[in-house]
Amino acid sequence: MSDSGPPLPMRVTVLAEDRLTGQGVEAHIAADHRVHVLPVGAEESPDVLLVITAELEEKTFTALRRYYPDDPAAAPRLVLVAGKPTAQQLVRVVKLGLVAFMSRERTTLADITEMLCAVARGAASLPQSLLGSLLEQIRTRQGDGRSVGTEDESSSFTARELAILRQLAAGLSTTEIAAALHYSERTVKYVIHEVIARHGLRNRVHAVAYALRQGLL
C-alpha cells in the first residue's frame, strides 16, 4: 500500500504593479486547490513567481532579484503577464527563469490559473514572435562580442542534443521534434532535461539561447 498522498499545491507568489490587481489575482488563483498563494516577503520560497505589469521597468527587475539566488536550481519559475517586452528585456527575464509569457491585454484570470497549472506540470510557453525576437537579440550580441550570460564557453553538446535544440529554436513542440527526428517523445524530453541540468540552465528557451551564444545553432 502506497504512502503517497495527493500532490502538494504549488506555491505561487504574485508580484503586481498595483495592490488591487495583486489582490484580485491572488483571490482567484487561491480558489484552486492546486495553488497555495505565498504573500510577498514570505520566508518560504515560491515554486512559481507570477509577475503582472503593463511594462517591464527597472523597478520590476529590482523586485525580481530577491527571488533569484546564485543557484539556478533554487530559483522559482517565472510566469510573466505584461505588454510585449523589448528584445533586451526578454533576454533579462529569460536569464531569470522565464517559462511562460502571456499578453496582459488578452489574458483572463482563468487563463492565468490554467497557465500556472501547466507550468507546475513542467510546461513552458513563449509565443513564436517573442522567441524570434530573443534569438535575433542573441545573434546580435554574439556578433558584436557582447555576452548574454556567464556560462562556461567550453561546454559542448552532442550531435543529438544540437539537433533537438535546433528544432526547439524553430518553435517545434516535443511531439513535433520527436516526429521530425524519429525519436520517442520520452527521449526528446530526457535529452532536453539533461541539457538543462548539465549546463545549469533554467528552461528550454535558456538552453536555445545558450547554444546560440556559442555559435552552435
Sheet holding 77-82, edge to edge: 35-37, 10-16, 48-52, 77-82, 98-103
Residue 182 binned pLDDT confidence (cut-offs 50, 70, 90): very high
Query: Is the whole model's pTM more than 0.85, yes or no?
Result: no
Q: What is the pLDDT of residue 144?
A: 55
Percentage of the residues of the chain whose pLDDT score is greater than 70: 80
> What Rg, from alpha-carbon coordinates, does the chain have?
18
Residue 52: name the closest of 11, 9, 12, 18 by CA. 18
Residue 214: name the closest of 171, 178, 161 by CA. 161
93-106 average pLDDT score: 85
Residue 147 binned pLDDT confidence (cut-offs 50, 70, 90): very low
Output the nine-digit C-alpha cell for 76: 522559482
Q: What is the pLDDT of residue 145?
A: 52
- 96-52-35 Cα angle (round to 5): 85
Using one digit for the tens of pLDDT, what is the confidence trace for 20-53? 999 999 999 999 999 999 999 888 889 999 999 9
Q: What is the pLDDT of residue 148?
A: 45
Residue 215 binned pLDDT confidence (cut-offs 50, 70, 90): low
Task: Give residue 77's region: left, alpha or beta (phi > 0; psi -120 to 50).
Answer: beta
Q: Is the pLDDT of residue 5 over 50?
A: yes
- The full 3-state SS of 159-175, as one line of letters, equals HHHHHHHHHHHCCCCHH
Q: Which residues contact 96 (CB under 8 A, 6 or more apart)?
A: 61, 64, 68, 75, 78, 202
Using one digit for the tens of pLDDT, what is the confidence trace for 68-99? 776 666 778 899 999 888 877 887 887 777 88
Q: Is the pLDDT of residue 156 over 80?
A: no
Q: What is the pLDDT of residue 152?
A: 45
Using one digit for the tens of pLDDT, what is the confidence trace for 189-202? 999 989 988 888 87
90 vs 73: CA distance, rounded Å: 20
Q: What is the pLDDT of residue 52?
A: 96
Residue 150 binned pLDDT confidence (cut-offs 50, 70, 90): very low
In what helix (H) or strand (E) does residue 142 lie, and over which residues does it extend? helix 128-143
Phi, psi values for residue 69, rounded to 5°: -75, 175
95 vs 201: CA distance, rounded Å: 9
